[in-house]
Amino acid sequence: MYVCICKSVTDKQIRRAAANGADNLFELRETLGVASVCGTCGPVAEEILDETNQHTQPIMYVPSSA
């Protein structure tokens, strides 16, 4: 779905940018142009970015003592 109509940016592009290391709205603005014209898409773009980054963070395994 289109998130930023002004720059024609989709949620897939935002997820791809997150997978490539973007972790804040400033980086999305620099790479994709999100929220650089009217700014209405900013909150939704951040929500998608945060959701994507939560799922890509490594999970640390800590063994319990036996």
* pLDDT at residue 26, rounded to an integer: 95
Tally of domains in the chain = 1
* pLDDT at residue 11, rounded to an integer: 96
Evaluate whether 7 touches 35 at the Cβ level (below 8 Å): no
Mean pLDDT value of segment 46-53: 91
pTM above 0.85, yes or no: no
64 in a domain, yes or no?
Answer: no
Q: What share of the chain is helix, strand, coil (3-state, %, to 5)?
A: 50, 10, 45
| DSSP bridge pairs for 10 | 2
65 in a domain, yes or no?
Answer: no
43 in a domain, yes or no?
Answer: yes
Count how many Cα atoms sit within 13 Å of the Cα of residue 41 in the half-sphere of its side chain.
26
Host domain of residue 30:
2-56
CA–CA separation, 1 and 30 (whole Å): 20
Domain harbouring 49, CATH code: 1.10.10.1100
66 in a domain, yes or no?
Answer: no
Structure tokens at 17: 């940018």
45 in a domain, yes or no?
Answer: yes
Structure tokens at 32: 């994709």
Q: If pLDDT is split at 50, 70 and 90, which confidence band does 63 have?
A: confident
